[in-house]
Amino acid sequence: MTVADALVDLRSDTVTRPTAGMREAMAAAEVGDDVYGEDPTVNALEAEVAALFGHEAALFAPTGSMANQIALQLVVPPGDELLCDADAHVVTYEIGAAAAYGGISSRTWPAVGADIDPDVVARMVRPDGYFAVPTRAVAVEQTHNRGGGGVIPLATLRELRRVADDNGLALHCDGARIWHAHVADGVPLATYGALFDTLSVCLSKGLGAPVGSLVVGSAERIARARTIRKRMGGGMRQAGVLAAAGRYALAHHVERLAADHAKAARLAEAVAPFGVLATAVRTNLVPLDLSKSPLDAPGLAAAARAEGVLISVLGPRTARLVTHMDVDDDAVDRAAAVLTTILRA
Ligand SMILES: Cc1ncc(COP(=O)(O)O)c(C=O)c1O
């Protein structure tokens, strides 16, 4: 047993390690030079993901951040505007990339997680004109990371599509965890796909692949995306070893997300009696609001770490637990016991 095996790591669903089956698929992958478009495994993954979302094409990228930023550059010209929420990954954790690489001006609606009011978004849209920054696109996050893994309802997305159409805007989905929304709400991936002009989807968040995201869109947009990816330094060579992990993840690790959601619900239930608000847990993220607890988030994280349980600190009184395929039911029970013992003290 390694040190990592002894810990219960609930910081993120990105901490998973490839399974034996995934490693075998990676070792057996047929590869070629993907900058020449000659890696058969990458090409197969791109075709598979495009088809899953009912789009014409997809492009493999090393990270979710790069996939998002390529997509934003596709739909917002330099100097023009993107609308998204104040807690969106694209404006919180991507280090100003939209401005730095795309010259994109971002304006945000107040952070409400998955609970978006399309009328609020509609009222923010600025038309074309020489005196104002024209809005070109709206981005949403499905599921919402800082919004506690919340799932944007299909009806809301349809309303947002209408807002986009009424105003000639593109609609982008940061779908790093769109698989979780698909499993939680039973909405087909193609139904989501039909609502968006561009999507980014991740294979390394909950699906267990070590690396990899895709930009999904029209053939014309994805051809331009290939150039933008190269410009950003994301042209990869024998990337089929990574794409093989992604293909394996799609085949074996999507439907099992329901088990991660159930584990998250159990953790939420365990901490609830201690004044920790972990309500409305829909997927694999459990946000902890410690505003009514004697312990702050760094205090809880330090005490849990001393007992072998790792959690994320998101703010002075906000922490987060994330379930994933490398924490089994026993590990969840162990974590629940550790956290409740600390919170009870
Ligand atoms: C919602 C969301 N989008 C994008 C990303 C970026 O992914 P990466 O870390 O691969 O750049 C993350 C990462 O956790 C995320 O949670």
Q: Is the pLDDT of residue 121 over 70?
A: yes
Mean pLDDT calculated for residue range 293-321: 96
Looking at the CA of residue 204, tell me the nearest atom of ligand 1. 10
Residue 19, preceding peptide bond in cis (omega within 30° of 0): no
Instruction: Region of 156 please: left (phi>0), alpha (psi -120 to 50) or beta.
Output: alpha
pLDDT digits (tens, 9 = 90+) for 265-285: 999 999 999 988 876 899 999
Judge whether residue 3 has pLDDT over 80: no
Mean pLDDT of 224-232: 98
pLDDT band at 231 (very low <50, low <70, confident <90, very high): very high
Q: Evaluate: CB of 29 within 6 angstroms of ligand 1.
A: no
Q: For residue 271, how far is its CA from the centre of ligand 1 (angstroms)?
A: 26
Distance CA 142, CA 175 (A): 5
Atom index in ligand 1 nearest the CA of residue 144 equals 1
Report the distance separating Cα 20 and Cα 13, nearest Å.
Answer: 18
Share of the chain above pLDDT 70, in %: 98
pTM over 0.95: yes
Residue 131: per-residue pLDDT: 87
141 lines ligand 1 (CB under 6 A): yes
pLDDT of residue 6: 81
Per-residue pLDDT reduced to its tens digit, 16-31: 999 999 999 999 999 9
> Taking all residues of the chain, what is their mean pLDDT, rounded to a whole number?
96
pLDDT at position 130 = 74
Mean pLDDT of 91-114: 97
The verdict on the CB of residue 64 being under 6 Å from ligand 1 is yes
| Closest protein CA for atom 2 of ligand 1 | 176
Residue nearest to atom 15 of ligand 1 (CA): 176
Q: Which of 205, 213, 283, 285 to mutate to test the pocket of ligand 1 (most atoms within 8 A of CB)?
A: 205
* Cβ of residue 180 lying under 6 Å from some atom of ligand 1: no
Q: Has residue 1 got a pLDDT over 70?
A: no
Q: Is the pLDDT of residue 190 over 90?
A: yes
From 89, 95, 232, the mutation candidate for ligand 1 (largest count of ligand atoms within 8 A of CB) is 89
> For the chain, what percent of residues have pLDDT higher than 90?
94
258: CB partners within 8 A, 6+ apart? 183
Supply the residue whose CA is at minimum distance from atom 5 of ligand 1.
64
Token representation of residue 150:
């919340």
Distance of CA 152 to the CA centre of its chain: 13
Q: Which residue has the tokens 């807002």?
A: 163
Q: Is 17 helix (H, G, I), strand (E, B) or coil?
A: coil
The predicted model gives 310-330 an average pLDDT of 97
pLDDT at res. 275: 85
At residue 39, does pLDDT exceed 90?
Answer: yes
CB neighbours (10 Å) of residue 318?
17
